[in-house]
Copies of this chain bind each other. A is one copy, B any other.
Amino acid sequence: MVDDRDLLKVVSGIIGEERTSDDCCMIKVGDDNIILSTDMLHESTDFPRGMTDWQIGWMSAAVTLSDVASCGAVPLALLLAAGLDEPERISGITAGAKDCCERFGAELAGGDIDFHSELTIVTTGIGRVEDEYYKTRRGAKPGDIVCVTGTPGCAGAALEGSERYWKNLVEPLPAVREGRLLAVAGVSSMMDVSDGIALSLYDLSGSSCVGFEISMDNLPLSPGVSPEMALYSGGDFGLLFTCGRDILPVTGVDCTVIGVVTDSGEVLCDGVLVERRGYSHRWMEEI
């Protein structure tokens, strides 16, 4: 069985590791650093049953704005390509994406429309970031602390039936303001936790060549959310970041220290190896 992280290694071998180690890429245009990110979502795997078209549009915009924000960038615009199973869905989807963009300071600036047997949406975000505020997964250093914003696991709880967190799941709020504040404050690495904290720690670990030692007791939990859900479930859009101990608190950012960065290369929780699992696309065939 292969998952999308295996496939990413194939792509990495063709276009270069630097271009595949983050959810965004940065290109220089004149004096500006342009941040780009693209995400493909499908009805059967990404949009829980019961979502409205407006929520589908909102979520599609949110996931990409979250990636842009996790680089420390200011989002500018979003494109939305929709493969529609039913043409009338375009109005709700467009309205939801536009509202999400406006809420977070970006413009829904265009897209593409197509027919598809299964609703498929690809959003591409563009943002801008200064050299000194550009954050990736690569800067974590042993001795740093590792933190999350918000209370992860709520979307996962909703997926398991908790109605109180339904909106967390279907109308996620990308941490655009927080990402920018943390970047300006000088965090050393950052990404969103959309695939869950566990997988995200492994991603940071691989990119920064470091390990982590976190504690279950430190995980910030909303009522009814288990530490397991916080660690292993996806669909939340908080930020995971590392920084020197002197940086916190950052005014305007609600975050929690969950552990420290180590030089071991291992991801441990209370001394035990964290399972490398979370939100991931999987294929049954061998590559």
Chain A interfacial positions (CB closer than 8 Å to B)? 2, 4, 6-8, 10-11, 14-15, 19-20, 24-25, 27, 29-32, 34, 36-42, 45, 76-77, 79-84, 86-88, 90-91, 94-95, 98, 107-118, 120, 122, 124, 126, 128, 281-283, 285, 287
- Evaluate whether A76 and B29 lie within 8 angstroms (CB atoms) in the complex, with A81-B40, A122-B38 already known: yes
Q: Are B110 and A42 in contact (CB under 8 A)?
A: no
Contact of A30 among B27, B30, B90, B124 (CB under 8 A): B30
Known: A4-B113, A29-B128. 7 other contacts (CB 8 A): A14-B98, A15-B94, A30-B31, A36-B77, A36-B124, A41-B114, A122-B124
Q: Are A34 and B34 in contact (CB under 8 A)?
A: yes
Cβ B27 vs Cβ A120 within 8 A = no
Count chain B CB atoms within 10 A of each CB in A15, A41, A88, A90 and give the residue with the most: A15
- Please measure, in the bound complex, the distance between the C-alpha atom of A8 and the C-alpha atom of B82, giving whole angstroms: 11
Query: Known: A79-B25, A95-B14, A287-B87. Is A36-B117 also a contact (CB below 8 A)?
Result: no
**Shortest CB distance A17–B (Å):** 12
The residue on B at minimum CB distance from A2 is B87
Closest partner residue, chain B, to A81 (CB atom): B40
Given A27-B107, A31-B31, A36-B126, verify A15-B87 contact (CB < 8 Å): no
Q: In the assembled complex, which residues on chain B have CB atoms less than 8 Å from the CB atom of A32?
A: 29-30, 32
Chain B residues positioned under 8 Å from A7 (CB to CB): 84, 87, 90, 113
* Min C-beta distance of A238 to chain B, whole Å: 20
User: Nearest CB to that of A115 among chain B residues?
Assistant: B281
B residues less than 8 Å from A110 (CB atoms): 15, 19-20, 24-25, 36-38
Asked if B87 contacts A11 (CB within 8 A), the reply is no
